[in-house]
Chain A
């Protein structure tokens, strides 16, 4: 079953120099493990391919049901050097939420995941 990340998580992002961070938080605690399994560093790097110049790092915060991604080279130089509208990476969060996951039907049913509409 296709599941949109925007339907199972919320997020906030910010900046440090030319790096944007995206904190991704499961909308329900029982959905956190699915994020850990599916929203991998590789998957996120592929999602943002061509949009960022550097590597992607991922950190886990099970206590907040959250993952933290660092997107290096995401801000056109960052801070005041950047010519981007989103020079501070404020809305990379929602760009990550565009990700669509493929979840086995039985798992989706057990977790009561909302289907992509």
Chain B
């Protein structure tokens, strides 16, 4: 058994720094490269791609990432774990295999493909069997949006990834795994943690939570002492050096920018946090009030003390559904009286939309530079040098949203004065794909892993 296992994070979301995976495997010693591609609504985007082309439906960035780290995987035995499979893990594995063959390394990859999370084709069967899949936040029944559902995936845990690694996969591709399982699974595999080793499993989850957003724990988006964080242009992505007892050190490669310190890690720990005593995952419930952080030298934070307890009998399900259309238009008003001019433009625009008979489910006006992010807390901004009017509408009628987009530009000539910033053209109508969180009994979801060579 290895004494220390190093898991490095190379992507915090789909769209993150394309070169980070390569830097993570070349910048120092790592055993595993963990790549997280899936945010809440990513699955629905991938589902749409798959409907257009059945060979798609996965995070295509991952194929490029694999090419860039292939030498490390083949020559140094670095293993890769990614939830890049989206709604089509098999096609993703096929694309990776093809890319490896092109580089003459096709025979060197054993790819574990995890499936079983996709519930889209089983939805009606599940509903008929009494699984309500009610919205966790609002309690609404799924039937209210059933005919508009685009994707449905259970968040699955570490089990199938661990099994893939046990069967000697050096690349494991999953669909909707929890982000944290991607880090915990290799630790569980390496240290042989039992599935009831609650404290160790919880530690693996906390390690995953800390590094799953990439550089957000190593100096990125860090408010504490932000002016002094060095060399963000060359920011180091994080890695954990984990031990069998469930303690670990968060650090980054030498010679990189950014910072790993108790404050940078603390900020990431509280990110997107709910009840800190119950961080619920399919494998374990982690108690974030037990985490102890200790400064362990430059860019090193030691994490210990973590307690876990048995999970619930439910899995969270991520459902995406079509929820109408929206568009947001902007114009910029300049001093003097920038805010007052923008406020008049807002009233004029609302009246025009009303006269046109356009009806929306929701209209939101923000005055960027005055109140968009801090509302009334920002105080008096009547003397602001400029204010951006940001006007958004949302509704189920696409034609009405489309018509709205033509009402912004005319204000330049027929509204309040000192207006500019319209060079971007008409706002675009966006189709809204909304997120519907639900719960389902664990017993009806059976993740499987297939290892292909």
Contacts and interface: CB of A to CB of B under 8 A. Distances in A.
B326 interface: yes
**Chain B interface residue bracket vs A:** 35 or more
Interface in B183-241: 221, 223-224
A76 B375 contact: no
A23 B373 contact: no
B270 A85 contact: no
Contacts of A68: 270, 273-274, 276
Contacts of B2: none
Interface in B364-384: 364, 366, 368, 372-377
Nearest to A49: B376
A84 B364 contact: yes
Contacts of B390: 85
B364 A10 contact: no
A12 B373 contact: no
Given A10-B223, A50-B375, A95-B375, A80 B364 contact: no
A11 B263 CA distance: 10
A27 B435 CA distance: 36
Contacts of B224: 10, 25, 27
B437 A23 contact: no
A116 interface: no
Given A25-B266, A80-B41, A17 B437 contact: yes
Contact of A63 (B273, B291, B393): B291
Interface in A5-52: 10-19, 21, 23-25, 27, 47, 50-51
B432 A85 contact: no
B41 A84 contact: no
B434 A59 contact: no
B392 interface: yes
B289 interface: yes
B375 A51 contact: yes
Given A81-B434, A83-B394, A63 B289 contact: yes
B374 A21 contact: no
Contacts of B326: 83
B272 A81 contact: no
A17 B137 contact: yes
Contacts of B328: 83
A91 interface: yes
18 contacts: A10-B223, A12-B268, A13-B271, A14-B273, A21-B272, A21-B274, A59-B273, A61-B289, A63-B290, A63-B305, A64-B269, A64-B270, A66-B266, A68-B276, A79-B435, A83-B362, A86-B372, A86-B373
Given A25-B270, A86-B373, 6 more contacts: A23-B269, A64-B293, A66-B269, A80-B434, A83-B326, A85-B366
Interface of B: 40-41, 137, 221, 223-224, 263, 266-277, 288-293, 305, 323, 326, 328, 362-364, 366, 368, 372-377, 390, 392-394, 432-435, 437
Interface of A: 10-19, 21, 23-25, 27, 47, 50-51, 59-66, 68, 70, 76-81, 83-86, 91, 93-95, 98
